[in-house]
Structure 1
Amino acid sequence: MASKTLSEIAHLDDEEFRLNKDLANQINEMLEGQHFGSDCAKSGRPMLLEAVLWCVGGAIVWIVALRLVN
């Protein structure tokens, strides 16, 4: 195993701190401002309803196709 020097460890700590700070800034930007007013924060109900309707429609087509084949 190679042991790391003190400067390498300090560099890694600085890198981790910078990444954590960047992540915190991105999360704060998502919680306030324009992003929160966009479609991302709206209800997913319409999309879920459309998905259910497509699944039901697909099941109906599948059952009709099976009935026509038999």
Structure 2
Amino acid sequence: MYVLDTDILIDVLRGYQPAITWFTTLSELPSISGFVVKELIQNCQNKQEVNQIFKLKFWKTLVWLS
């Protein structure tokens, strides 16, 4: 199971080719933590950007790390 960090997802969302290339080589969709979702939402400028994050289903499961 892969658990992605915010930095990787930001690079993918911004179209950074090395991150996209790496992401496409994964054998399964990764998981992300709830904290990553919170960080991504914090950087949104409006509701439209928040909706865009949730439309992009680039994770398999949402996990809360303890």
How would you bin the TM-score normalised by the shorter chain?
A: under 0.3
* TM superposition score normalised by structure 1: 0.24
* TM superposition score normalised by structure 2: 0.25
1 or 2, which has the higher strand percentage?
A: 2
RCO higher in structure (CA 8 A, sep ≥6): 2
Who wins on radius of gyration, i.e. which is larger?
Answer: 1
1 or 2, which has the higher helix percentage?
A: 1
